[in-house]
Structure 1
Amino acid sequence: MLSRIAESLFWIGRYVERADDTARILDVHIQLLSENPWAEEDQACRSLLKIMDRPAAEDGTLVARVDMLDVLAHDRVNPSSIAGALIAARENARRARETISTELWECLNTTRNVVLDKNRHLSPHNYFSWVRGRAAMVAGIQDSGTSRDDTWLFMILGRSIERADMTARLITAQAHLGSSGPGWTTLLRSCGAYEAFLRAYRGRAGDEQAAAFLVLDRLFPRSIVHALSLAEECLRALDSDEGRSGVTDEALRELALARVALEYGKPDSLMAALPEAMDKVQRACSAASQAVKKRYFPAEGAVEWVEEGL
């Protein structure tokens, strides 16, 4: 597979997942601000923007939810926002048009067209619900219409790395807000994890158990450990030399070390330093993404014309 095609597939997975998870995070925070009249809107918006790597300027200007939505939901240029990520996913699908299925292309193209036409005309909750629905449709088409070859592996690798990173951001946001935040039950519902959590813990719901479920559960697809494990499986399938002389893939090493630190660390220590642990996960995902880019999507150097080559 050409490296440019592989890179486009990788970023399709990442951008669609980014839009989905950003919609989930914003939905929780908009609900909090709407239901709690005593919430510090400026502080809450600034905190979330910082967690999402889009910090607001420290110039004394108050940051309202409208400003937060402009940056994280409706910005069509920056791929860190929902609209920008969906537009970027469609552009990457165009570059890989001969590789992906017609259904997937039509789904991403239609999604982008709706984003350009009327994304600001919907209420925030309806917009976020629509984004989650489109992301679920993309995932369904990927699962049902893609052969489990390199095309599948690069898309799922991108999706898994992004999911681990964004779940870590979601948990960090709740950990920073504490009792003034939406609560772990709301967080579980935003991830579609509430019923699975109740089955796993048989009704013994608590904040520590909820956090542990989103971080450590090996069976729930949106947990950090599950996402990291799936990314590792994709990297092993892509690496034909894996296993001959230990781990030689830098991306695999970064993800495996992050997963092992979570799985085999002491739960009490993990819960006591949750923001720090989630920061390490985000750093590992960033390092793994850079390692994947370096190995599978090498940038071509500029051609240098010398006399002997004329």
Structure 2
Amino acid sequence: MLSRIAESLFWIGRYVERADGTARILDVHLERLNQLPLAEQRTVSTNLLAVMGVNAEGEAPAGLQQLLHRMAFDIQQGNSIAGSLAAARENARRARETVSAPVWESLNTTWNGLTSHRQDVVGTYRFCTWVIERTATVQGLADSTMSRDDSWQFMALGRALERADMTARMLASGDEEAFRLSWANMLRCAGAYESFLRSRRAAFGDSYAVEFLLLDRLFPRSVVSSLRQVEQALIALDPEYTRTGKMDQARRLVGQARTFLEYHHSEDLLAELPEHLERVQAACSEASNAITVKYFAQAAGQAWTGEQA
């Protein structure tokens, strides 16, 4: 496979997952933001933009409308929902001969519908719901219409790597002091509420919710599960049959981050959460750089925004 095609597939997976994750995070924050006084709206909006890597240094505190524009509708911003979907569609166009026709048509239809939504609070609610449905359609079509060859593995690799990063950012945006989100809202943000209730039954609380989203091995959006999916894709792309511990750099970084979480015992996970999230995001960024160097024939690593149209 040509490296440019592999790179496009990798970033399709990342951008579609980023749009989905950003829509989930924005949706769960909007209701409370809309009820806050103007000064608090600006503080929370600025903090949320910073968590999502959207806020530019030196700018004045952002209000609610600036938050909606930057996180949802700014098509020039690679970290926004619209910008991510536009970049995913452009990468699919470049890899048109590799992605299946249903995946291309779904991404193209989604791109054509980006400008048909009202850019107020109510319109953004509906936009986020629409985006979650459209990204689920794209991912479902990719899973059901593409062979499990290298092309699908690169897309799955990008999706899993981005999912680990987005879940970490979602947990960071659920910090009680800065955002005052309940544990139930954090779980709903990740689509994990029902799964959590079935696994925990009567054990409720912030610490249990954080533990579930960070460490649960069976829930696909948890950080540990996502990192495991990254490892599986890397193994499928480059199996190594050695009797020593040597492996490629991306697998080493992801494996170290996952095993640290799985085997680290803590009596107070909430107190250590910022350190864990910072470690996960750093591992995802460094693993992305390592994947770029190994597979995409570029001397410099990609930033979190990656290649855009």
Deviation at 1:39, TM superposition (A): 7.7
Does the CA-based 8 Å contact 1:235-1:252 persist in structure 2?
yes
Aligned to 1:279: 278
Q: Does 1:139 align with 2:136?
A: no
Does the CA-based 8 Å contact 1:262-1:270 persist in structure 2?
no
Does the CA-based 8 Å contact 1:242-1:248 persist in structure 2?
no
Does the CA-based 8 Å contact 2:117-2:127 persist in structure 1?
no
Q: What do residues 59-92 of structure 1 show as CA deviations (whole Å, max 9, x unaligned)?
A: 5x44211101111111111211100000000000
Does the CA-based 8 Å contact 2:160-2:227 persist in structure 1?
yes
What amino acid is the match of 1:160? A
Aligned to 2:269: 270
Q: Does 1:159 align with 2:159?
A: yes
Does the CA-based 8 Å contact 1:46-1:56 persist in structure 2?
no
Aligned to 2:4: 4
* Paired residue total: 299
Quote the Cα distance in structure 2 between the aligned partners of 1:112 and 1:143. 20
Of residues 183-192 and 49-58 in structure 1, the stretch that sits farther from structure 2 once superposed is 49-58
**What SS does structure 2 have at the residue aligned with 1:73?**
helix
TM-score w.r.t. length of structure 1: 0.91
Quote the Cα distance in structure 1 between the aligned partners of 2:166 and 2:179. 21
Aligned to 1:115: 114
Quote the Cα distance in structure 2 between the aligned partners of 1:179 and 1:90. 35
Aligned to 2:27: 27
Q: What do residues 274-297 of structure 1 show as CA deviations (whole Å, max 9, x unaligned)?
A: 112101100000000000000000
Aligned to 1:84: 83
Aligned to 1:219: 218
**What SS does structure 1 have at the residue aligned with 2:55?**
coil
Aligned to 1:190: 189
What amino acid is the match of 1:162? E
Aligned to 1:306: none
Distance 1:43 1:299, change over 3 A: same
Q: Which has the larger radius of gyration?
A: 1
Quote the Cα distance in structure 2 between the aligned partners of 1:259 and 1:70. 35
Aligned to 2:69: 70
Q: What do residues 121-150 of structure 1 show as CA deviations (whole Å, max 9, x unaligned)?
A: 771110000000001101110111111111
Where does structure 1 lack aligned partners over 5 or more consecutive residues? 302-310
Does the CA-based 8 Å contact 1:42-1:63 persist in structure 2?
yes
Aligned to 2:207: 208
**What SS does structure 2 have at the residue aligned with 1:40?**
helix
The CA RMSD measured in Å over matched residues stands at 2.0
Quote the Cα distance in structure 1 between the aligned partners of 2:278 and 2:242. 29
Q: What do residues 29-50 of structure 1 show as CA deviations (whole Å, max 9, x unaligned)?
A: 1112124559811110111111
What amino acid is the match of 2:89? R
Quote the Cα distance in structure 1 between the aligned partners of 2:90 and 2:139. 17
Aligned to 2:304: none
Percent identity of paired positions between Structure 1 and Structure 2: 49
